[in-house]
Structure 1
Amino acid sequence: MPTDLRWDVPEARVLDELGYYLLAGAGGTGPAALVDETRQGEALGLGTAFISERWNLKEAASLTGAACAVSDRMHIATAATNHNTRHPLITASWATTMHRLSGGRFTLGLGRGIAAMYQAFGVPPVTTAQMEDFAQVMRRLWRGEMIFGHDGPIGSYDLLYLDSDFDEDIRLALVAFGPQTLALGGRAFDDVILHTFFTPDTVRRSVQTVKRAAEQAGRDPDTVRVWSCLATVGDHLPDEVRLTKTVARLATYLQGYGDLLVRTNDWDPMVLQRFREDSVVTSIPGGIDHKATTDQIEHIAGLIPDEWLEPSATGSSQQCATRIREEFGHGADAVIMHGATPDELAPVVAAYRAGDSRAAAGTSRPGPTVSVRPE
């Protein structure tokens, strides 16, 4: 769906409080699409482009390098990669390279991953203690420290060292779900990214957990930015596309970690059980969002209550823009418009700008800001 994405940059403020995912979902037409999606998102004036990692055609280091190279202003963040799939020095070096390549626009975002998939692939599970230890090691390496005899949750290393001249201010983000991870984000990370399909109550509770943990750790809670991840699917999109981006996406999450999502949102676990036992669901060889047919997704739609799909921005472009703004009222500092390309988001962004009285004054939403430090 071609869209005129050109903006008069001197007049249209950068929407630092809005982000989107590159190669949303399973990756669409392939990794090469990332180049145009990056340029289009920047042209729309979006603040941050996020990159998730899948172990097929979405390797994070390659994609972040491409995104940083074809953008000039927008921040590029992983959300997420995993700390235990690369040596700590490789990750620290990659982040420093991206930081300097982009002029300080890179954020290293980490996540816990899916335990069942890790077990199948022979990768050790990720713990909260490991992610905290890893964050501390990254910051020390970026400060130019030489770490001798590290023995912690991420492992034992005789020597960890990059360069004594380093003094890098690289943002760290954490994709958080449960209370322990949310609290970790508050005390040790700069950005915390919530999960899609969190109810308003869950968003409020999650933000409170992050901010309280930051304060208890002696940090200014306003410096920790919490992102709501809000599925944004306007009715200007075809029916089949909307079905995939809502029903199929939520169904895929229920496949991977349904118990956690249901428990977090205080949903009915019996609905999840019926979903898991359904013959259509069990017949799909992989993630529903990229393996199921339209007929199968339509069947699955009948298994998922409407209230489970409500934590999303749907309807007209104006309704989507209004729903995005509501997330700020629930406590979020910023919103990721999840699951859609810049072309698909363009009408929603236009509606958001139309209702943004701050744009005329050239101000943005109060809250944590991200500065770019020239190298």
Structure 2
Amino acid sequence: MSLTVDQINCYILPGRIEDVREGLEQAAAAETLGLGGIFLSERWETKEIGSAMGALSQRTQRIKLVAGLTHFGTRHPLVLAGMASTMQSLSGNRFILGFGRSVPARFKRLGIPIVNNGGMADHVAILRKLWAGETVTYDGPAGQYPEMRLGRRCDNPPPVILGAIGPKTLALGGAHFDGILLHPFLTPEGVARSIAIARKAAEEAGRDPDALLFYATVVAAVDGCTAQERASIVESRIVSYLRHREIGTQILDMNGWDRAPMERLLARDLNELDFMPKDALEAETILARAAEDLPPEWLSASAAIGGPDQCIARLHDYIDAGASQILLHGPTPRHQAAIIGGLNKAAS
């Protein structure tokens, strides 16, 4: 299948940031490149989705604005529905609402309810009813709402997508959501397996599997980046996922990889980095060095690495595996431009 520039998305304001206004220029640059969408991951202290996306809607004219990701339970459903409908109005129907699973340990400390699969499915159903102008009376895993109504229907409700990696969450996405954001470091074969699970669940739920939107998150390190940039983009990032057994196991199983290398990695007890007073660069260096425990072919098979043409060929692999869209993870705007330039050249 062909790959066009408007199928490419990128993150803006990755990680911890000080000045959210930098995202305005990053979004404008992505739109100038012709990208199809920008993703903003929520951090309440500096990247609250509603306010940040509201500003981005006025700095851009065409590009899709994806909340990637927020969580259920952090806003009342009425507030969430109103925020999303307001974003649709502000952006000219360019908003996409993305959710991830809760972070149980953190949410417990904050007093935020942890929503199970049934609760997430019900939350989506509640949002859709509110957008349709219905009155919602509900008592279940998503909460207790005696009588809830938005007050004005949303004629163009945003698509709702789910970040998923494990089989149960993929099936949940296929049965109840409009699309799925797939995890970084899945191989094209892992992406194909993931998509098959979601599509099967959609069929079993009586939904059209062809209507589902699948974002393949592809870590990309383009030739020309420094050794430090490459280590930050690829080695430290894959280790940051695999050092968490519950995440790493899902990645390995979906890719069909042996677990022994991950067990060697886990023996390093790298999760202590979360509690040690190290600066970000030092922590990244430690994580990158730990990648020596992993087979080199894991990195080359699950990321786009090399010159622009090599990276573009790998992106095509993910589209051929069934992905609808590509979310570039890691490359700077300069390296994104190299990929986009190659795509435009191939199309001309």
Partners in 1 of 2:46 and 2:177 — Cα distance?
28
Structure number with greater CO (CA < 8 Å, separation at least 6) is: 1
Alignment partner, residue 214 of structure 2: 226
Deviations 1:244-298 (A, max 9, x none): 0111111221234333333333333332232222266635637999453564244
1:306 aligned residue (286, 289, 296): 296
Over the residues paired in the alignment, what is the CA RMSD in angstroms? 2.4
Report SS of the residue matched to 1:85.
coil
How much has 1:185 moved relative to structure 2? 1.6
Alignment partner, residue 170 of structure 2: 182
Report SS of the residue matched to 2:36.
strand
Partners in 2 of 1:172 and 1:49 — Cα distance?
15
Q: Is 2:86 the partner of 1:94?
A: no
Report SS of the residue matched to 1:80.
strand
Give the 5 Å matches for 1:98-177.
Answer: 98-148=87-137, 150-177=138-165
Do 1:52 and 1:58's aligned partners in 2 also have CA atoms closer than 8 Å?
yes
Q: Is 2:193 the partner of 1:211?
A: no
Partners in 1 of 2:126 and 2:270 — Cα distance?
46
Partners in 1 of 2:252 and 2:118 — Cα distance?
25
How much has 1:86 moved relative to structure 2? 1.0
Q: Higher mean Cα deviation, 68-77 or 330-339? A: 330-339
2:50 aligned residue (55, 61, 66): 61
Partners in 2 of 1:60 and 1:290 — Cα distance?
24
Report SS of the residue matched to 2:70.
coil
Give the 5 Å matches for 1:160-309.
Answer: 160-256=148-244, 257-278=247-268, 282-283=272-273, 285=275, 290=280, 292-293=282-283, 295-309=285-299
Do 1:53 and 1:60's aligned partners in 2 also have CA atoms closer than 8 Å?
yes
Do 1:248 and 1:289's aligned partners in 2 also have CA atoms closer than 8 Å?
no
Which residue identity lines up with residue 320 of structure 1 in the other structure?
Answer: C
Q: Could you say if the C-alpha distance between residues 271 and 298 of structure 1 is closer, same or farther in structure 2, counting changes exceeding 3 Å?
A: same
Partners in 2 of 1:268 and 1:165 — Cα distance?
50
Deviations 1:62-98 (A, max 9, x none): 2212221211000101121001111111111110110
Do 2:85 and 2:157's aligned partners in 1 also have CA atoms closer than 8 Å?
no
Q: Is 2:313 the partner of 1:316?
A: no
Q: Higher mean Cα deviation, 31-40 or 295-304? A: 295-304
Which residue identity lines up with residue 282 of structure 2 in the other structure?
Answer: A
Q: Could you say if the C-alpha distance between residues 183 and 157 of structure 1 is closer, same or farther in structure 2, counting changes exceeding 3 Å?
A: same
Deviations 1:32-77 (A, max 9, x none): 2211110000000000111112344332222212221211000101
Q: Could you say if the C-alpha distance between residues 332 and 166 of structure 1 is closer, same or farther in structure 2, counting changes exceeding 3 Å?
A: closer
Partners in 2 of 1:161 and 1:49 — Cα distance?
31
Q: Could you say if the C-alpha distance between residues 288 and 237 of structure 1 is closer, same or farther in structure 2, counting changes exceeding 3 Å?
A: farther
Which residue identity lines up with residue 36 of structure 2 in the other structure?
Answer: G
Q: Could you say if the C-alpha distance between residues 38 and 116 of structure 1 is closer, same or farther in structure 2, counting changes exceeding 3 Å?
A: same
1:82 aligned residue (71, 79, 87): 71
How much has 1:118 moved relative to structure 2? 3.0
Do 2:18 and 2:46's aligned partners in 1 also have CA atoms closer than 8 Å?
no
Alignment partner, residue 364 of structure 1: none
Alignment partner, residue 334 of structure 1: 325
Do 1:76 and 1:106's aligned partners in 2 also have CA atoms closer than 8 Å?
yes
Which residue identity lines up with residue 324 of structure 2 in the other structure?
Answer: D
Do 2:97 and 2:160's aligned partners in 1 also have CA atoms closer than 8 Å?
yes
Do 1:21 and 1:340's aligned partners in 2 also have CA atoms closer than 8 Å?
no
Partners in 2 of 1:162 and 1:37 — Cα distance?
33
Q: Higher mean Cα deviation, 78-87 or 256-265? A: 256-265
How much has 1:314 moved relative to structure 2? 0.8
Do 2:170 and 2:197's aligned partners in 1 also have CA atoms closer than 8 Å?
yes
Which residue identity lines up with residue 48 of structure 2 in the other structure?
Answer: E
How much has 1:29 moved relative to structure 2? 6.0
Identical aligned residues as a percent? 33
Do 1:254 and 1:272's aligned partners in 2 also have CA atoms closer than 8 Å?
yes
2:36 aligned residue (47, 57, 72): 47
Which residue identity lines up with residue 110 of structure 1 in the other structure?
Answer: F
Aligned length: 343
How much has 1:224 moved relative to structure 2? 0.9
TM-score, normalised with respect to structure 1: 0.84
Do 1:40 and 1:343's aligned partners in 2 also have CA atoms closer than 8 Å?
no
Deviations 1:108-138 (A, max 9, x none): 1111033343344443333211111011001
Q: Could you say if the C-alpha distance between residues 177 and 293 of structure 1 is closer, same or farther in structure 2, counting changes exceeding 3 Å?
A: closer
Alignment partner, residue 10 of structure 1: none
Do 1:68 and 1:102's aligned partners in 2 also have CA atoms closer than 8 Å?
yes
Report SS of the residue matched to 1:175.
strand
Unmatched tracts of structure 2, length 5 or more = none
How much has 1:27 moved relative to structure 2? 3.9
Which protein is richer in helix relative to its size?
2
